[in-house]
Structure 1
Amino acid sequence: MTYPSILSDLPELPLAESFALTEAYNLDTFPEKVNLGQGVYRDEECQSWVLPSVRSAEEFLHQQHLNHEYLPIPGAAPFIKEAQNLVFGPQLAQKENIRSVQTVAGTGANHLAALFCARYLRPKNVFISDPTWDNHQLIWETAGPGIERKLYPYYDPSTRSLHFDGMTAELENSAEENDVVILHACAHNPTGIDPTQTQWKKIAEIVAKKRLFVVFDSAYQGFASGDPDADAWAIRYFYSTFFGDASLSTSAIPAGMIVCQSFSKNFGLYGERIGALHLITPPSVSPWGAYTHLVRLIRSEISCPSLFGARCVHTILTDLDLRSKWIEDVKTMASRIQSVRTSLKSELENIGAQGDWDYIERQIGMFSYTGLSKIQVHRLKQVHHIYMLENGRMSLSGLNGNNVAYVARAIKDVVDRH
């Protein structure tokens, strides 16, 4: 006997592309297969790398005989303090209008930000870069179903550079007061193209004039350039310019700001799911009411965040030797990514691949936005067993001295054919 159910009408949904790619790669038995899809750091052997600073912190913590009690709902206070110091710098982090909570990595921070904005800010639109990290769309689709998701131009395929005029024109012409704009703090995913400091200042002027609410997604601080302070420049500029001085005219201040901070890439703590959300209110507005609503949302979703990864980050950032070791670790990661950029560009040029490949070196961070079409990406997978996202995003840490020439020849093949 069968029983009708409304659940029978639900269609089967495909697995998220990056996870489906990894699954397909793992099932592939071809000996020269290459995984350029997953956004995780790999060492020169293309193996998972535990940062030496993290390994030292783990060994220290395991000697302390610590308990596994629940954290408070907002998270571990010592960790949150160091997260604030890292993203804002110690001086700005002391400001009263910054209130922070621990989250389930950067994804959890973005989801909490979307929930908070949808419920309490009630924007008409959220502006998302075109292209962007695919989860931005899904997060806002599920957390803010009544909010229109609009794309602002970001990538110019003709120049393989930032479409700055299109970006600013869209915000100028279409954004309304209290609308949300999502900005990538550094190492834009997937393009690897960031605004210059001059361009950031212009973006900030528009955001303030239109009284928009800014959500910074900061997933790569330190990992992008090897310098955590340099990678936090845009966030600190926005705060110092608009939120740090109560004497500013209210007409020149954005509606507010949230920073979504991840420790997955820069600490290699992918599976520990460690992140933070920082809420910034205008200097004349108390953040405490909004903060309590953030805490309430956390209680309803996860009760309280995870413990061990937060202890690792706190241990590293408060120990001078471990912090110094961590800085060297992020420099190591940034340097290796830059070196494979140079190697891939050189290989493509040496074998006479059609096109100008300089953009590979100009981009920054984990990814290269190759400009390859879906047809070309499909051929790379089917013929050459090289896996990357359909939009042409290549995760560079999957390259090393043993496979870069093979990948370059494969790219030449698909470019020559299409």
Structure 2
Amino acid sequence: MASIFDGIEKGPPIEVFALNKLFLEDTDSRKVNLGVGAYRTEEGKPWVLPVVKKAEKAVVDDDSLNHEYLPVLGLDTYASAATALLLGEDSIQIKNKNAFGIQTLSGTGALRLGAEFLARVMGRRVFYYSEPTWENHQKVFLSAGFTDGHAYRYWDPTTRGIDFDGLIADLKKAPEGAVIILHACAHNPTGCDPTKEQWVKIADIIEEKKLFPFFDSAYQGFASGDPVHDAFAVRYFVERGFEIFCSQSFAKNFGLYNERIGNLTVVQKNPATSAAIQSRMTLLVRFMYSNPPAFGGRIVGKVLNSPELRQEWMDSIKIMSSRIIKMRKLLREELENLKTPGTWEHITQQIGMFSYTGLTEAQVKILIEKYHIYLLASGRINMCGLNEKNYKYVAQSIYDAIQATKV
């Protein structure tokens, strides 16, 4: 029987999820998952933060709470706490009511809401993203109504660091009003962040060219273990007087991946524009998903608004970031001990969950098919997939894959 859906072709698989499926189906005892972007313990298991368990129990046991709809823009107690975490408790922009937050469906939802506003309300059509960047950046902005996407140079495969001269040259070509997507910290996928001096130069160009900075902050606190350190770039731009959007995610730093809890921080020059911005954001949310879920917001809000729980959270993110730093050190040392061709200092110079290894697609293919080590075709690995039981095997496999592809 004919169907109206008969002519639909399958879409391409999403690489990271397809890779995870292959890993789960693999029966080899040596298998290692370096693909999926989630924290793993030394035992390779997901970690529910103890402070999150406490907050969950407190939320469940609170008889004053119910399952009524939240306001369209979410829980104010949560959004205000998230905004203060990003900008600082003593932020002059918060005190002057120039900044506010909107609860969203994780960081992706914050990006989409901000992009929808810029495209549909403000008529922006041009956006710039780093090359490489998180794969969803382009798709989110194009789906929201942007029509003209451009890459600015970022990764230098020769130095395995930032091509800063190329970055600046490309931003200088951007037309007035273009939206510039900037990674707040722990750049995904490279793990390479600009220095403080480089952020100053980036801000100079954005100011000179009258561009609009849209930060993506997915790893605050998770990257270095210090939320203040990881918020430097955003706070510098705000203190300098920029109007910005910043998407925030609490997937990694709270381990709340499936709660989809995010925040869109808006910083403006005049608090008188808040009502108009919020009213248009309200309509956009209503058209897309009506209003956000409550549970994740209540958990994060409870933790951030309680000095005791907040300190426990700080201890947890220190544990996670320290383990990642340790794995970087061990992997680099082992690669160098094996005299693996190439240079490997970038492994420890990078920060956050991901490392852009510099491995080629051919080498990645060997690692997956012969050694059962799963990583993205770009050579990006999740450092959390390493532990003291497997890092030597991974290093040896990388050595072998490089040797097998030597010309």
- Scaled to the shorter chain, the TM-score interval is over 0.9
CA distance, structure 1, for counterparts of residue 170 and residue 8 of structure 2: 36
The 5-angstrom pairing of residues 183-332 of structure 1 reads 183-243=182-242, 256-283=243-270, 286-332=273-319
Query: What amino acid does structure 1 have at the position aligned with 2:163?
Result: H
| 1:354 paired residue number | 341
Provide the rounded CA distance (Å) in 2 between the counterparts of 1:218 and 1:284.
23
1:285, 1:133 → 2: CA distance? 34
In structure 1, give the amino acid aligned to 2:217.
Answer: S
CA distance, structure 1, for counterparts of residue 16 and residue 57 of structure 2 = 32
Counterpart amino acid of residue 38 in structure 1:
V
Query: Which residue type is aligned with residue 158 of structure 1?
Result: T
Offset of residue 371 of structure 1: 0.6
- Pairwise CA distance, 1:67: 1.6
Aligned-pair distance for 1:122? 2.1
- Structure 2 counterpart of 1:20, from 5, 18, 25: 18
Instruction: Look up the match of 1:113.
Output: 114
Matched to 1:270, the amino acid is Y
Residue deviations 1:107-137 (CA, integer Å, cap 9, x gap): 1111111111111222241000000000112
CA contact (8 A) 1:225 1:364 kept: yes
Measure the CA separation in 2 of the matches of 1:280 and 1:345: 40
Q: 1:159 to 1:53 in 2, by over 3 A?
A: same
1:345 corresponds to which residue? 332
CA distance in 2, matches of 1:285, 1:233: 27
Counterpart of 2:114, as a letter, is A
Helix, strand or coil: the match of 1:181?
strand
1:60 aligns with 2:61: no
CA distance in 1, matches of 2:403, 2:266: 49
1:214 counterpart SS class: strand
Distance (Å, rounded) in 2 between the aligned partners of 1:179 and 1:282: 19
Cα shift at 1:283: 3.7
Matched, 1:39 2:40: no
Q: Counterpart of 2:132? A: 131
Q: Aligned partners of 1:94, 1:59: CA distance in 2, in Å? A: 33
1:99–1:291: 8 Å Cα contact kept in structure 2? Answer: no
Q: Which of these residues, 25, 47, 50, is aligned with residue 48 of structure 2?
A: 50
Matched-pair contact (CA < 8 Å) for 1:101–1:276: yes
* Structure 2 residue aligned with 1:246: none
How far 1:284 sits from its partner (Å)? 8.0
Offset from partner CA, 1:151-194 (integer Å, 9 cap, x none)? 00001111011111100110112x11111000000000000000
What is the number of equivalent residue pairs in this alignment? Answer: 402
Q: CA deviation at 1:310?
A: 0.7
Residue among 402, 406, 412 paired with 2:393: 406
SS for the counterpart of 1:266 is coil
> Structure 2: how far apart are the matches of 1:197 and 1:287?
30
Amino acid across the alignment from 2:218: A
Q: Deviations over 1:373-395 (max 9, x none)?
A: 11111111000111111111000
Change over 3 Å in CA distance of 1:11–1:62 after alignment to 2: same
2:2 alignment partner, SS class: coil
Tell me the alpha carbon deviations over residues 217-264 of structure 1, each in whole angstroms, 9 at most, x when there is no partner. Answer: 000000011000110111111011024xxxxxxxxxxxx410000000
Once the two structures are superposed, residues 37-82 of structure 1 have per-residue CA deviations (whole angstroms, 9 ceiling, x without a partner) of: 0000001101000111111111222222332221110000110110
Q: Which residue of 2 aligns with 1:392?
A: 379
Letter in 1 for 2:338: I
Identity %: 45
What is the alpha-carbon distance in structure 2 between the residues aligned to residue 208 and residue 283 of structure 1?
Answer: 18
- Superposed CA RMSD in Å reads 1.3
Q: Give the structure 1 partner of residue 364 of structure 2.
A: 377
- Structure 1 contact 154–163 (Cα < 8 Å) conserved: yes
Flag the 1:86–1:77 CA change in 2: closer, same or farther, 3 A. same
Distance, in Å, in 2 between the alignment partners of 1:349 and 1:16 is 33
Distance 1:368 1:386 in 2: 15
Where in structure 2 are the equivalents of 1:86-165 lying within 5 Å?
A: 86-92=85-91, 93-144=94-145, 146-165=146-165
Q: CA deviation at 1:285?
A: 6.5
Counterpart position of 2:404:
417
Gaps of 5+ in 2: none
C-alpha separation in 1, matches of 2:40 and 2:2: 50
What SS does the corresponding residue of 1:277 show, helix, strand or coil? Answer: strand
Q: Which amino acid aligns with 1:96?
A: K
Q: Does 1:81 align with 2:80?
A: yes
Q: What SS class does the counterpart of residue 275 from structure 1 fall into?
A: strand
CA distance in 2, matches of 1:71, 1:195: 38
| Residue identity matched to 1:394 | I
The SS at the match of 1:83 is: helix
Letter in 1 for 2:106: A
Contact 2:177 2:212 in 1 (8 A): yes
Residues 121, 178 of structure 1: 8 Å contact kept: no
Task: Give 1:95 deviation, angstroms.
Answer: 3.1
State the secondary structure of the residue aligned to 1:334. Answer: helix
- 1:267 is paired with a residue whose SS is coil
Q: For the residues of structure 2 that align with 1:284 and 1:209, how far apart are their CA atoms?
A: 24
